[in-house]
Chains A and B, each alone.
Chain A
């Protein structure tokens, strides 16, 4: 079974621009979560989508948004980019079935650099 895929893997943008990142979950997984990792920080939760609905959001400004499609694929968008948005953005999918635990499986991430 194919793992979580994320595109693009690397991205360079300038301040003020916007960016869209894409994530395809493991087949059959309906929950997709997004995390931001910056140097010296752990993974910071951005948001989670399940069945096309956002059911939780982390403490990030409104410039960060996302959505999920009917095939469970997800995108996240960052508008008006700032230098501090430079980070590794990770997508994770999970099965979310009672009794099967809460393991999330991560993609390789998108490395975003804002100049």
Chain B
């Protein structure tokens, strides 16, 4: 049962344009969402996060939007740069308890064309 889904395995965008990566979830008990970027042969790098009590969080070129009613999360990258080409994972944390367990989506490969 995939609780966090990234339905687009890949996305291609022109340099300077906006990249929009999407993520859907099924568990209403998630209270925190995160985006990670991963290059080959490296561990994931934390990008940006959002609490379930917010609907938007911005950090430089990266903005995450959360639509709780639709159980949908998106990451906007503006403007996209060739160095943004990587696999992007969304992740979610189940509320409550002391656990720090994150549930990850399967990733979207972003290719930014020069």
Q: Interface on A for B, CB 8 Å cutoff?
A: 4, 6, 31, 33, 35, 40-45, 48, 50, 55-56, 58, 90, 92, 94, 96, 101-109, 111
Contact = CB atoms under 8 A, between A and B. Distances in A.
Contacts of B44: 43, 90, 106
Contacts of A102: 32, 34, 49, 93, 100, 102
Given A101-B32, A102-B34, A103-B34, A45 B103 contact: yes
Contacts, number: 72
| Size class of the B contact interface (CB-based, 8 Å) | 20 to 34
The residue in A44, A50, A102 that gathers the most chain B C-beta atoms within 10 A of its C-beta is A102
B8 interface: no
A10 to B, nearest CB: 10
Given A31-B100, A103-B46, A104-B102, 13 more contacts: A4-B43, A41-B106, A42-B106, A42-B107, A45-B103, A55-B98, A58-B101, A101-B32, A102-B49, A105-B46, A106-B36, A107-B43, A111-B41
